[in-house]
Every structure is written in structure tokens, then in C-alpha cells.
Amino acid sequence: KQEVTQIPAALSVPEGENLVLNCSFTDSAIYNLQWFRQDPGKGLTSLLLIQSSQREQTSGRLNASLDKSSGRSTLYIAASQPGDSATYLCAVPFSGSARQLTFGSGTQLTVLP
Amino acid sequence: NAGVTQTPKFRVLKTGQSMTLLCAQDMNHEYMYWYRQDPGMGLRLIHYSVGEGTTAKGEVPDGYNVSRLKKQNFLLGLESAAPSQTSVYFCASSYSTRGEYEQYFGPGTRLTVT
């Protein structure tokens, strides 16, 4: 059964810092990995999707990497801003599936002005 | 283009009551999903659908039923609500062009069962 872990559970940084969020998964036979952002009381917004054949995806100040062999992904946020404060979740498909997702519990990020 | 919408946004039920949550998407996506989110447990898949008229169980299906009579709608039913079903419910939809299945989420329904 696929299990997804995100460490740390919470992170607080001053504005302007570069930071890394971590995601690990137990079954490396994945089709892809998706990073989401969730603001308090809101739904999830997809940030980046990395295919299993890719090692990195970039969108603006966000860069996600994927190392299937070690079962790890990182989300790098450059020059953090208070507006980046949210919970960040990673998700991978169920073992043997391409569609249903297993989620980590998330990292709650606070960027202090 | 509204994306994924959910109705209602909030609901309070008494134990034993029934209700239906409605999810609608206007992106012509084949696949739709229902998740619940609980503190400390992340999001867990309840049921999903790979097309109109088809549904399948996810990780935590007990106490829920679903129907996908139209491609754009996915309904989640609680026949006899229990306090353990107090949660935030999210609907999502996805499509695949190259096996990607990127998921798009609705804003959620906050359900309290007393």
C-alpha cells in the first residue's frame, strides 16, 4: 500500500528566504507526483505535476524535483513571500493505478513579513 | 468556465439523517473523485468514477454511496449520517492526455453530524 510522508509538518520562515519542502513515498512504481497548495478553508490548487519520466518541473518561483528510486520529491520555493503561506500537500497515485491519489498530511508554511 | 463546484458549502445533520452532496464540473473530464479531509489524516479517497454510469470504491467507502448519471455530475450520498462522518468533503475531476490525470478540486463541503 502506498504511503506518503511530508516533513516537517509545519515551517515558519522570514520573508525572502528560499525553502525546501519534502515528500517521501513508499512505492516507487508511480506514474507521476503532484504538488498542491491549500489555503485555510479552501480547496486544493494544483501547483505542479511531475511525470515519472521527468526529474524536475518549474513554475515561476516553484521548482519540484522527483527521485523515484529513492522515493522522494522536493518542492523548492524561491524568495518566499507572505502570500506563499498555506499548506502544501504532495500526492502520488495508488500502487498500480494512474488515477486515484494518496496524499501526504501536508506541510503548513508560514512566511513572516 | 467554473471548474469544479460543490453544493452545499456547509451542512449540519443529526445522527441518522440522510443527505446528498453534489459535485459538478464543466471541463468535460472523464474521471471524478470524492475525498474526505480530517485533521491529522490528510485526504482519503471515498469513491471515484472513470466515466458516466461507472463508480468504484476508494480507501474509505463504508457509509457512503455515489452515482454518476451524467458525465458532468458526481453525487455523494450519506444514507444514515454518523458523527464519524463529520469532515470536509472534496470533489475532484481529472482527464488524461498522456497518462497525466492531473486532478482539479472543488472548494469543499463542511459537514457536521451531531
B72-93 pLDDT per residue, tens: 999 999 999 999 999 999 999 9
Candidates A36, A51, A104; nearest CB to B100:
A51
Candidates A4, A49, A103; nearest CB to B102:
A49
Q: CA-based Rg of chain B, rounded to a whole angstrom?
A: 13
| pLDDT band per the 50, 70, 90 thresholds, residue B41 | confident
Q: CA-based Rg of chain A, rounded to a whole angstrom?
A: 13
Q: Which of A109, A104, A108 lies closest to A25 in space, CA to CA?
A: A104
Average pLDDT over residues A81-100: 85
B2-12 pLDDT per residue, tens: 799 999 999 99
**Following DSSP, what letter does each residue of A58-96 receive, concatenated?**
EETTEEEEEETTTTEEEEEE-S--GGG-EEEEEEEEPTT
SS3 call for B85: helix
Q: Are B74 and B49 in contact (CB under 8 A)?
A: yes
A106 close contact with B: CB closer than 8 A: yes
B39 close contact with A: CB closer than 8 A: no
What's residue B63's pLDDT?
96
Q: How far is B34 from chain A (nearest CA, A)?
A: 10
Record: contact B96-A104, CB cut-off 8 A: no
**CA dist., res. A16 & res. A59, Å (int):** 18
A24 close contact with B: CB closer than 8 A: no
Per CB-CB distance under 8 Å, the chain A contacts of B99 are 31-32, 51, 98
